[in-house]
Chains A and B, each alone.
Chain A
Amino acid sequence: GAGVSQSPRYKVAKRGQDVALRCDPISGHVSLFWYQQALGQGPEFLTYFQNEAQLDKSGLPSDRFFAERPEGSVSTLKIQRTQQEDSAVYLCASSLVSGGHADTQYFGPGTRLTVL
């Protein structure tokens, strides 16, 4: 079946612009995670949803970052008033359930955000 998809794949924004990044998880996957990956580094956690509930947003770096998953499927990560330090690859991952073997997270291709 289809994997996790993300759009756009590349986004260039001028400093101060707002951006919205979309994630389509694997159909039926309950859990959805957003990660931020700086160049040459490992991904770092941003936020986590179980269905439509945002259970953990402790990784969001500032109140300029906002995420939602209103119907428990597609999720959007919004960054307001982008800054140069927001330049990174934003990865989305989903898993079938929370807990047990089906907890393996499957990743999308990421959105590479460049803020000029």
Chain B
Amino acid sequence: AQTVTQSQPEMSVQEAETVTLSCTYDTSESDYYLFWYKQPPSRQMILVIRQEAYKQQNATENRFSVNFQKAAKSFSLKISDSQLGDAAMYFCALNQAGTALIFGKGTTLSVSS
């Protein structure tokens, strides 16, 4: 069975600072994809960043980057220069091509000015 674990229910960060959200996963598949999604309060889930397991290079999208450690089955998200608009629930997710996403329980990120 595939699982995704987010061990930090809540995190907080000050504006302009950097924060890292943790995610570990378990899968027996060799080819898979990892995602971070953001879900603001009462708003829809949007994709933050995506990583293909066969790629060794860590994905980056502007202020968002990941630290993908395949052997350790770890996939953390780093948010640099945090902004008030980054406040949301963040979900780590895993799938194989054409299959449903397996989500973690989420981390609620609060950003203070």
- A26 on interface, CB distance cutoff 8 Å: no
For the complex, count residues of B whose C-beta is within 8 A of A.
24
For the complex, count residues of A whose C-beta is within 8 A of B.
27
Q: A42-B91, A98-B98 are in contact. Are A108 and B44 (CB under 8 A)?
A: yes
Q: Which residues of A contact B43 (CB under 8 A)?
A: 109
Tell me, in angstroms, the Cα distance from A100 to B52 when the chains sit together: 9
B92-108 to A contact mask, C-beta < 8 Å, 1/0: 01010111111111100
Tell me, in angstroms, the Cα distance from A102 to B105 when the chains sit together: 25
Q: A31-B98, A98-B98, A103-B98 are in contact. Are A42 and B44 (CB under 8 A)?
A: no
A91-115 to B contact mask, C-beta < 8 Å, 1/0: 1010000111101111111100000
Q: A42-B105, A42-B106, A103-B33 are in contact. Are A48 and B47 (CB under 8 A)?
A: no
Instruction: Determine if A45 and B100 form an interchain contact, defined as CB atoms under 8 angstroms apart.
Output: yes
Instruction: Determine if B97 and A91 form an interchain contact, defined as CB atoms under 8 angstroms apart.
Output: no
Tell me, in angstroms, the Cα distance from A107 to B105 when the chains sit together: 17
Tell me, in angstroms, the Cα distance from A100 to B93 when the chains sit together: 16
Tell me, in angstroms, the Cα distance from A107 to B99 when the chains sit together: 15
Q: Give min CB distance, B43 to chain A, whole Å.
A: 7
- B46 on interface, CB distance cutoff 8 Å: yes
Tell me, in angstroms, the Cα distance from A100 to B102 when the chains sit together: 17
- A residues sitting closer than 8 Å to B (CB atoms) are 31, 33, 35, 40-45, 48, 50, 56, 59, 91, 93, 98-101, 103-110
- B residues sitting closer than 8 Å to A (CB atoms) are 4, 33, 35, 37, 43-47, 50, 52, 91, 93, 95, 97-106
25 intermolecular pairs with C-beta atoms under 8 Å apart: A31-B98, A40-B106, A41-B106, A42-B4, A42-B103, A42-B104, A42-B106, A43-B101, A45-B100, A45-B101, A48-B99, A56-B99, A59-B100, A91-B45, A99-B97, A99-B98, A100-B97, A101-B52, A103-B95, A103-B97, A104-B47, A105-B101, A107-B37, A108-B44, A109-B44
Name 10 extra pairs, CB < 8 A, besides A43-B101, A45-B101: A31-B98, A35-B101, A42-B93, A42-B106, A56-B99, A59-B100, A99-B98, A101-B52, A103-B95, A103-B98
